[in-house]
């Protein structure tokens, strides 16, 4: 299992519109690519969000990065040209316990 994790810090005045954008548009569109089997959207504070995209294997993540990421990043920047700070990381699952 490969997890592609995106953490976004959002200015307070954008937090509600960012959350709506992610839930109603961005995440459903990314899920429809078929590259990820699960996506989790989380918030730690009102302006700090994390999205965890889980791919079955490295090839699925690579397909997303090579074929889809440019258009999704462009769309994100059209909606949020300023007021956000984005950090991306890739995690490789080593072990799992429980459900």
Over residues 64-92, the pLDDT tens digits come to 999 999 999 999 999 999 999 999 999 99
* In a domain? residue 74: yes
Structural domain contains residue 56? no
Is 99 domain-assigned? no
Residue 78 counted as domain residue: yes
**Domains identified in the chain, total number:** 1
Q: Is residue 59 part of a domain?
A: no
The range of the structural domain enclosing residue 30 comes to 12-49+68-93
Give one DSSP letter per residue of the chain, joined into a string.
-EEEEEEEEE-GGGHHHHHHHIIIIIHHHHHTTSS-SEEEEEEEETTEEEEEEEESSHHHHHHHHHHTHHHHHHHHHHH-SSSEEEEEEEEE-------
In a domain, 24, yes or no: yes
Residue 3, in any domain of the structure? no
Examine residue 55 and state whether it is found in any structural domain, yes or no.
no
> For 5-64, how does the pLDDT look when each residue is reduced to its tens digit (9 = 90+)?
999 999 999 999 999 999 999 999 999 999 999 999 999 999 999 999 999 999 999 999
């Amino acid at each position: 299992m490969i997890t592609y994790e995106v953490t976004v810090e959002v200015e307070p005045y954008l937090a509600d519109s960012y959350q709506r954008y992610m839930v109603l548009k961005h995440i459903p569109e990314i899920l429809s690519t078929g590259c990820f089997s699960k996506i989790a959207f989380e918030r730690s504070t009102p302006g700090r969000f994390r999205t965890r995209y889980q791919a079955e294997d490295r090839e699925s993540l690579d397909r997303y990065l090579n074929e889809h990421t440019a258009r999704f990043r462009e769309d994100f920047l059209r909606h949020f040209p300023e007021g956000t700070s984005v950090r991306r990381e890739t995690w490789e699952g080593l072990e799992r316990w429980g459900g």
